[in-house]
Amino acid sequence: MRKWFWGFLFIAFGFVCSIAAERNPRTERISGSAGDVLEDDPVGRLKVYVYELPSKYNKKILQKDPRCLSHMFAAEIYMHRFLLSSPVRTLNPEEADWFYTPIYATCDLTPTGLPLPFKSPRMVRSAIQLISSSWPYWNRSEGADHFFVVPHDFGACFHYQLIIRDYFSFLNLLQEEKAIERGILPILQRATLVQTFGQRNHVCLNEGSITIPPYAPPQKMQARQIPLDTPRSIFVYFRGLFYDVNNDPEGGYYARGARAAVWENFKNNPLFDISTEHPTTYYEDMQRAIFCLCPLGWAPWSPRLVEAVVFGCIPVIIADDIVLPFADAIPWEEIGVFVAEEDVPKLDTILTSIPPEVILRKQRLLANPSMKRAMLFPQPALPGDAFHQILNGLARKLPHQKSIYLKPGEKILNWTAGPVGDLKPW
């Protein structure tokens, strides 16, 4: 009883502080270089040439399945649209710093909305064959001054972990091992990858990649905002799967057991509002919560991270070795709480031990509009949004080292490497 008493006392005090904070300045700017980087304007610092590809690589794919516009992988579509009208675009490839190949490689969904990236390697390979034979710019560096948006679960490894369950549950683990064994497409090894997947020391994340947030619908989230002075009456909030019953019913592989541990330890804890149900008030509930759990699933990231930041709910990040979006601009350590996967059973103690003044500062930082904009892909684009953060990341890589350009006749990439299926025509 004493544990629950102090827990509820902590919450009550936190709510009073939160309400008081509403009547004072509610935002705080990130101090130092992080804040400067977050507010950088990339215009004038780089020029991007957008290859004009046949519509079969992009527009026709989207026409076939408009659901891709609202999918969490939609950044590849909106980045293309943004660049077409961006002031950083140049129509003269000779003056370009970067070259962009607009391919909608993840816009291939099952009837239930799950991605099917198995054709993606052939599509990417086909597009690179086209640009390398039609323009001279790929060949001079084998893609080292090119960037690709690859927002799939595991980026340019293009492997979907969730499979139809076989009789042996360990096949799921073997599928993950196959993804690791496959790695990033060989012909993309020199390009800069702009991807949602980020995990340290993982073959699906190249050094120099730009990690971005997944797409979350900005207009829909904006329409569900509640009054700023609404008390945060929920201590910990989470909605989502704890077990993948079709692929890993025992929860040992899915989320490396972290989600199962959340459920087993806290399903009856009154401080935790957790469930598999996804209510119509999901966005509103996040705005009433102090902490929002952001555990890994099959991949380390999910849209919950975006939702938590946008709605001012302190993200509790449970994903060992995760590389977070725009980590050189967003001070994740200051706005979030990191919990090791092995420490999930101690979540209640960890969160109730955080001093109220620390919570209030995290809330003020999260209330900064620049923090929220950096996580979103709005239409039309806004200064400081995720589009501009990507450009900032590309601008900070300039100027290119002279060593990226190859000598006449020099070749580095092996065009025949990779699984046999990837080498078939698309």
Enter the tokens of residue 117. 């990236």
Cβ neighbourhood burial of 338 (10 Å; 0-12, 13-18, 19+): middle
137: Cα separation from own chain's centroid: 29
Question: Using alpha carbons only, what angle is made at residue 345 by residues 290 and 354, rounded to the nearest 5 degrees?
Answer: 35
Q: How many CB atoms lie within 10 A of CB 96?
A: 20
Which structural domains are found in the chain, ordered by start? 48-215+384-402 (no CATH), 218-375 (3.40.50)
* Buried/exposed 6-21: b ≥16 CB within 10 Å, e otherwise: ebeebbeebbeebeeb
**Contact indicator for 83, 50 with CB cutoff of 8 Å:** yes
- pLDDT at site 421: 83
Cβ neighbourhood burial of 353 (10 Å; 0-12, 13-18, 19+): exposed
The 10s digit of each residue's pLDDT in 178-213 is: 667 778 999 999 999 999 989 998 999 999 999 999
- pLDDT at site 112: 81
**Contact indicator for 281, 224 with CB cutoff of 8 Å:** no
Residues 6+ apart with CB under 8 A from 66: none
Name beta bridge partners: 60. none
Segments of the chain with pLDDT less than 70 = 1-26, 29-36, 159-179, 249, 251
Give residue 416's region: left, alpha or beta (phi > 0; psi -120 to 50).
alpha
Residue listed under structure tokens 């009433």 = 288
- In total, the chain counts a number of residues equal to 426
User: Shortest CA distance to 380 belongs to which of 372, 368, 388?
Assistant: 388
**Contact indicator for 406, 140 with CB cutoff of 8 Å:** yes
Cβ neighbourhood burial of 223 (10 Å; 0-12, 13-18, 19+): exposed
Question: Using alpha carbons only, what angle is made at residue 310 by residues 304 and 316, rounded to the nearest 5 degrees?
Answer: 45
How much is the pTM?
A: 0.90
**Contact indicator for 346, 188 with CB cutoff of 8 Å:** no
Which value, in Å, is the radius of gyration of the alpha carbons in the chain?
Answer: 22
